[in-house]
Amino acid sequence: MVWSLILSFCVISCGTVDEKETKWKYDVETEDLERYVEEFERLSVGRNEKHVTALVVKFADLEDPVTGLCELYTKQSPVISIDRSYWAGADDAERENLMFHELGHCVLRRGHLETRKDLKPVSIMFPSLIPFHYKGDRVGYVNELFSIEGDWFRLRDEDVTFICGENHGI
């Protein structure tokens, strides 16, 4: 946040800024959102060690049942949009489920995974939120989240948006 303010100031007052700095920026809208990015980084230690440096996270008014979006770009920072009204009504685990799912797309570059085992989704990357299951097996889902990387992005070279939502039947 501080860095982006400095950068904005510089764009206005200095005239020229290295193009790379404006494209690959880190800007998380609120501390409320940032604590989940920090928790994601903390949990990555001893797994696949993620230090997030290029990411934009912001609130948006998304159409029900969409709760989050991840826009992945090949030439600029990925952008996560979090639905304002879902966030307002969500508890800590529900917020973490949503943020870790979007970070799975935007940082780990994972796609959706629809696989279930005994009806239970095997991954937090299931296309819809799975708060009931996530609350019952947080460690298992965190282990699975960090166990796979780049299953989607590695194979492609184009911008894409992941649309993720609620499914009350899950």
Query: What residues make contact with Zn ion under the rule CB under 5 A?
Result: 162, 164
Q: Specify the DSSP element, H or E, that contains 161.
A: strand 160-165
- Nearest distance in Å: CB 125, Zn ion: 7
**CB nearest Zn ion: which residue?**
164
CA–CA distance, 164 with 168 (Å, rounded to integer): 13
Closest distance of CB 13 from Zn ion, Å: 39
**Cβ at position 69, least distance to Zn ion in Å:** 8
The region, left, alpha or beta by phi > 0 then psi within -120 to 50, assigned to residue 150 is left
Q: Which is nearer to Zn ion, 6 or 149 (CB)?
A: 149
31 vs 158, beta carbon nearer Zn ion: 158
| CB atoms near residue 114 (< 10 Å) | 11
Q: CA–CA separation, 81 vs 67, rounded Å?
A: 8
Contact, 81 vs 58, CB < 8 A? Answer: yes
Could you tell me whether strands 55-60 and 116-117 are parallel, antiparallel, or unpaired per DSSP bridges? Answer: unpaired
Cβ nearer to Zn ion, comparing 77 with 123:
123
In angstroms, what is the minimal distance from the CB of 147 to Zn ion? 17
Nearer to Zn ion, 87 or 162 (CB): 162
